Chains A and B, each alone.
Chain A
Amino acid sequence: MNRIREYVPAVALGLAVISIWECAVRVFNISPILLPPPSAVYVRFMNSLPLLGGDFVETILKAMIPGWMIGSLAGLAGALLCDRLPFLRRGLLPLGNLVSVLPLVGVAPIMVMWFGPGVAPKIAVIVIMTFFPMLVNATAGLQASGQLERDLMQSYGSSWQQSLLKLRLHAAMPFIFNALKINSTLALIGAIVSEFFGTLVVGMGFRIQTGSGSQSLDLVWAEIVVAAITGSAFYGLLALLERRVTFWHPSYRR
């Protein structure tokens, strides 16, 4: 009961915003070309489920999730390599910190030139965007275990592998999950923005771009709803998984 009460203000605010939006569009007679009312978006959403589903498969299932996985795994592998080779860490980490603030989504046009339209350039863009956040975070995470614990592992005579699997990877998990969350947003952006630069005639980015050009904004908003639900669901699943994996972390203690 208490948990439900926690969400009452947020839900109330959400409903208020939607009602004000709906009323404002009707009262001020705003043209649907500018801002379609939520009811029109809902109708459009329900009427074009197959179309939206096709875009979802193309953009989310075929590009975003594979790209997110490859990029994050590659970043993790890079972090492990950096952990093994301190020279590499000292060299790559400052570069990684620099690269992770760059507007990397700008490589989208180049990737489309290289791979042509389709899924490949999107995955490439996402891998480039997600690699560095994971590299930087996971490297920081692998340093996060306390000196005491590491000394204990050493006094047990544990190998690098053992202390990695039994101690340091666990200590790194909050950092890794942080990167996974950052990357889930980046991956969605990468997939959609890549589609602005030429694609097959399916996909959420393609629909958003042609929709805003041809003034069928209700369809664009329907895509936005899909993107928002996907993004939130992804984030929620990760948060849930994080809670299960890092149950020992102070932020989850009751």
Chain B
Amino acid sequence: MRTERKGHVLPVAVISICLIVAWYLAAIPMNESVAQSKIQAAGGGLFNTLAVTWNFERPVMPAPHQIMNEMWNTMVLVAPWKVKSLVFHCWVTLSSTLLGFILGVALGIGLAVAIVHSTLLNKALMPWIIISQTIPILAIAPMIIVVLGSVGLTGLLPKSLISMYLCFFPVTIGMVKGLTSPEVYHLDLMRTYNASRLQVLWKLRFPASVPFLFTSLKVAIAIALTGAIVGELPTGAQGGLGSRMLVGFNFGQTMQVWAALFAGAILAAVLVYSIGRIEKFVFAARGAKS
């Protein structure tokens, strides 16, 4: 394990540096045309071109340090409860992501348990569960928000419902696989013990499904976040990373859009990483060798 990790650090570092260098290089021609007059005013030449294109206020392509700067300004220098703070918007998005995630996981596990125990439900539900995912729910998110809003449901719940709809699917699929993963002779052993279905579920099927559950959870939390962000697009005033992007887009605040995009990326990475940590912890508690 240790050597494996060591083998990745250098290549990842090299490629990341290459990407950042490429980004800086790309920013020069992309910003050059919009910043032309400013470069002329500064006196032209290579040095001025670099200085202007990498620090333009409304760039076509902001340089990485500009994005970092914007994030520092909006996350650290502003009190987190103010609407101007990116931390506030992250929190709005995170709370609806987590609520949707919990609802979706509960629904997903419930459906999986039902499907595993009933052939009829398996046949009736499974095709619809698969079809449900070919409907681009994200695309109709605005309508769902508008409709639920006119019934009086506003704020957290409508967005969470979109996250829920998105993340129940990987959980159901993974859990059906996991709950049916015990070997036949393990199930036979439970039968010889005269175990009830509930006992089989609790003592054999659930423990066997844990690895599958965590794999699904990582997928689920990532799309729950995407769902929350897209769900925020039509709810401009209420806050959240999605509304931040939309407002930034509408008012031509390029940096704001980029900062929100990066905040979303960091949030996604942190969420998936946390699930991974919990997975490791649970496995260790169950006696897995690390």
In the bound complex, do residue B12 and residue A101 qualify as a contact, i.e. CB atoms below 8 Å apart? no
Q: Taking chain A's interface residues, is the majority helix, strand, or loop, or is none over half, making it mixed? A: helix
B287, CB-defined interface residue at 8 Å: no
Tell which of A6, A92, A98, A103 touches B226, judged by Cβ atoms closer than 8 Å.
Answer: A103
Show 13 residue pairs from A and B whose CB-CB distance is below 8 angstroms, ordered by the A residue: A9-B123, A10-B128, A94-B8, A95-B12, A101-B219, A105-B226, A106-B241, A110-B261, A185-B136, A197-B249, A208-B142, A212-B142, A231-B136
Could you tell me the distance in whole angstroms from the C-beta of A27 to the nearest C-beta in chain B? 17
In the bound complex, do residue B11 and residue A91 qualify as a contact, i.e. CB atoms below 8 Å apart? yes
CB neighbours (8 Å) of A211 from chain B are 143
Could you tell me the distance in whole angstroms from the C-beta of A2 to the nearest C-beta in chain B? 12
A232, CB-defined interface residue at 8 Å: yes
CB under 8 Å from chain B, chain A span 6-37: 6-10, 12-14, 33-35
In the bound complex, do residue B140 and residue A94 qualify as a contact, i.e. CB atoms below 8 Å apart? no
Could you tell me the distance in whole angstroms from the C-beta of A90 to the nearest C-beta in chain B? 4
- Shortest Cβ distance from B246 into A: residue: A109
Tell which of A35, A103, A192, A213 touches B225, judged by Cβ atoms closer than 8 Å.
Answer: A103
In the bound complex, do residue B135 and residue A102 qualify as a contact, i.e. CB atoms below 8 Å apart? no
- Shortest Cβ distance from A5 into B: residue: B123
CB neighbours (8 Å) of B120 from chain A are 9
B147, CB-defined interface residue at 8 Å: yes
Also in contact, A224 and B140, with CB within 8 A (given A6-B123, A232-B131) = yes
A88, CB-defined interface residue at 8 Å: yes
In the bound complex, do residue A228 and residue B249 qualify as a contact, i.e. CB atoms below 8 Å apart? no
Could you tell me the distance in whole angstroms from the C-beta of A97 to the nearest C-beta in chain B? 9
* Bound CA–CA A218/B261 (angstroms): 33
* Bound CA–CA A146/B265 (angstroms): 36
A217, CB-defined interface residue at 8 Å: yes
CB under 8 Å from chain B, chain A span 67-120: 87-92, 94-95, 98, 101-103, 105-107, 109-110, 112-114
A172, CB-defined interface residue at 8 Å: no
* Bound CA–CA A208/B8 (angstroms): 45
Tell which of A9, A13, A90, A196 touches B142, judged by Cβ atoms closer than 8 Å.
Answer: A196
In the bound complex, do residue A212 and residue B143 qualify as a contact, i.e. CB atoms below 8 Å apart? yes
Tell which of B14, B16, B123, B151 touches A34, judged by Cβ atoms closer than 8 Å.
Answer: B151
Q: Find the residue from A34, A110, A185 having the highest chain B CB count within 10 A.
A: A110
**How many chain A residues touch the partner (CB < 8 A)?**
54
Question: Which B positions have Cβ atoms within 8 angstroms of A?
Answer: 7-8, 10-16, 60, 120, 123-128, 130-131, 133-136, 138-140, 142-143, 146-147, 150-151, 218-219, 222, 225-226, 229-230, 233-234, 241-242, 245-246, 248-249, 254, 257-258, 260-261, 264-265, 268-269, 272
In the bound complex, do residue B14 and residue A101 qualify as a contact, i.e. CB atoms below 8 Å apart? no
CB neighbours (8 Å) of A89 from chain B are 11
Q: Find the residue from A34, A88, A212 having the highest chain B CB count within 10 A.
A: A212
Could you tell me the distance in whole angstroms from the C-beta of A159 to the nearest C-beta in chain B? 25
In the bound complex, do residue B123 and residue A105 qualify as a contact, i.e. CB atoms below 8 Å apart? no
Could you tell me the distance in whole angstroms from the C-beta of A13 to the nearest C-beta in chain B? 4
Also in contact, A35 and B222, with CB within 8 A (given A102-B264, A103-B265) = no
Could you tell me the distance in whole angstroms from the C-beta of B152 to the nearest C-beta in chain A? 11
* Bound CA–CA A227/B132 (angstroms): 11
Q: Find the residue from A6, A10, A34 having the highest chain B CB count within 10 A.
A: A10
Could you tell me the distance in whole angstroms from the C-beta of A65 to the nearest C-beta in chain B? 14
A216-236: CB near B (< 8 Å → 1, else 0) gives 010010001001100110110
CB neighbours (8 Å) of B229 from chain A are 103, 105-106
Beyond contacts A91-B8, A105-B230, A232-B134: 20 other A-B pairs, Cβ-Cβ < 8 A, are A9-B120, A10-B123, A10-B127, A92-B11, A94-B12, A95-B12, A101-B218, A102-B269, A103-B226, A103-B265, A105-B229, A110-B257, A185-B134, A185-B136, A212-B142, A212-B234, A217-B143, A217-B147, A220-B143, A234-B134
Could you tell me the distance in whole angstroms from the C-beta of A132 to the nearest C-beta in chain B? 12
* Bound CA–CA A179/B143 (angstroms): 29
Tell which of B13, B135, B268 touches A224, judged by Cβ atoms closer than 8 Å.
Answer: B135
Q: Find the residue from B218, B258, B261 having the highest chain A CB count within 10 A.
A: B261
Could you tell me the distance in whole angstroms from the C-beta of A29 to the nearest C-beta in chain B? 14
